[in-house]
Amino acid sequence: MKLKSLTFVFLFISFVTFILGVWQLYRLNWKNDLIENINNSVNSPKIFDSNEEYEELITVSLNNEFDLIDSPIFLESKTQQGKVGYHAVLPLTYNNKFYSVINLGWLSDKNLEYVSNLIKEIKNQDSFYAYTRHLTNEKQFFVPENQPNDNIWFSILKSDLEEYYKSNFNSIYYFVLFDPRIKPDTNPLAFLRNNHLNYSITWFLLSLSSAIMILIIRRKHYGQSKKIF
């Protein structure tokens, strides 16, 4: 390969990997801000406002304008501490109108009585805490399809839930119960990984290595040229 071609290849690699390193630094700052916001929301949950936009995993307080309907579905194959169980998901109304759903978290089996008792615990509170997730129709690639007609569920998808409950859910969020007074469960921070600094360092090292390769190749080429003359 000619000198110009080699130089171009390594210059391109150096440029692209440098940009990727900068991008990871941007993601690092964004993730740190998100973690700080989540921590603040866990420590001091604010009352949920349907007109406000929320990041995912932000803890909010749901007041008595929200109510749960005791008609659960159970998400299959959910694990906690190595045990396989289910997630219980219920419709959530706002001012007596269908609004969204709430995930009550992990259960070892499809225990309807336990779900009913959780609902009673929630209704005994003036307000309860939950964190936000986006309510969409996007299914993870390896997750099986829901079968609403057979009441078999693997994921929370808006269109499937609306079909099953024969109601429209107007919210762009669903909620996950996160209230130690009612049911101790996983902190939302457990879902976040913050490896962006490591990724950034890796990309910058690749960029530096490519730049060094350019210098080595050009020095070697000019060294050979001097010997010829």
**Token code pair at residue 2:** 């000619």
What's the confidence (pLDDT) of residue 101?
Answer: 97
pLDDT (0 to 100) of residue 224 = 59
3-state secondary structure the chain: CCHHHHHHHHHHHHHHHHHHHHHHHHHHHHHHHHHHHHHHHHHCCEECCCCCCCCCCCEEEEECCEEECCCCEEEEEEEECCEEEEEEEEEEEECCEEEEEEEEEEECCCCHHHHHHHHHHHHCCCEEEEEEEECCCCCCCCCCCCEHHHCEECCCCHHHHHHHHCCCCCCCEEEEECECCCECCCCHHHHCCCCHHHHHHHHHHHHHHHHHHHHHHHHHHHHHHHHHC
- So what's the pLDDT on residue 83? 87
* pLDDT score, position 164: 96
Taking only Cα atoms into account, the Rg of the chain, rounded to an integer number of angstroms, comes to 26
Q: Is the C-alpha dihedral spanning 113, 118, 124, 126 positive or negative?
A: negative
- 168: Cβ–Cβ under 8 A, 6 or more apart, which residues? 98, 162
Q: Spell out the domain ranges in the chain.
A: 3-30+195-228, 49-186
pLDDT of 98 reads 93
Written as six digits, the tokens of 41 are: 């929301």
pLDDT at position 122 is 93
Residue with tokens 């973690």: 35
In 3D space, the residue among 214, 219, 121, 103 whose CA is nearest the CA of residue 157 turns out to be 103
Residues of the chain with pLDDT under 50: none
How many Cβ atoms are within 10 Å of 161's Cβ, its own excluded?
Answer: 24
pLDDT of residue 57: 85
Type of residue numbered 26: Y
Give the pLDDT of residue 202: 92
Question: Tokens 């299914």, residue?
Answer: 139
**Residues 131 and 57 sit within 8 Å (Cβ to Cβ):** yes
